Amino acid sequence: MSKKIETLVGEIEKLTLVEAAELVKALEEKFGVSAAAMAVAAAPAAGAAAAPAEAAAAKSEFEIYLKDAGANKINVIKVVKEMTGLGLGDAKAIVDGAPKTVKEKVPAEEAKKWEAALKEAGATVELK
C-alpha cells in the first residue's frame, strides 16, 4: 500500500461515525457513485480497506435516544414536539418516559441537528 493511501486510511480511522457517514455522502455526490459501488470496485484492489466504507454507508440513519431530560424539561419537550410533530401531551409523555427512543431512522445530518438542539435544551441524548 502506498504511503498516500496509508495516510488517508489513518485519517479516516480517526473520524466519528457521523463524520464517516458525511464523508461517504460527500464522495457519492462528488463522484456520482454510491458507496456500495465504490466498495465493490475497491474490494479487489484495497482488500480490507473497503470494510470501513461499507460500515459508514450502512450507518446513514440513526435512532435519537433521550437518556435524560435534564433540569429544564419544558425546553426539551418543545424540541421533542418540533422534532416529532406530535402534540404537546405526547411530546411530554416521551420526555417524562426517558430514557426512551424519540425518533428512529433519522438521516445522519438531521440526527446531528436534533442531537445538538436537545443538548442545547439541557437533555442528555445519544445517537444509536
pLDDT tens for each residue of 27-61: 878 877 766 655 555 555 444 555 555 554 557 88
Residue identified by cell 465493490 is 40
As a whole number, mean pLDDT of residues 70-94 equals 91
pLDDT digits (tens, 9 = 90+) for 92-111: 999 999 999 999 988 988 99
Predicted TM-score (pTM) above 0.85 = no
Burial class (CB in 10 A: 0-12, 13-18, 19+), 21: buried
| Residue type at position 33 | V
Element (H, E) at 23: helix 17-31
User: Taking 80 as the threshold, does the pLDDT of residue 66 lie above it?
Assistant: yes
For residue 45, give the C-alpha cell.
484492489
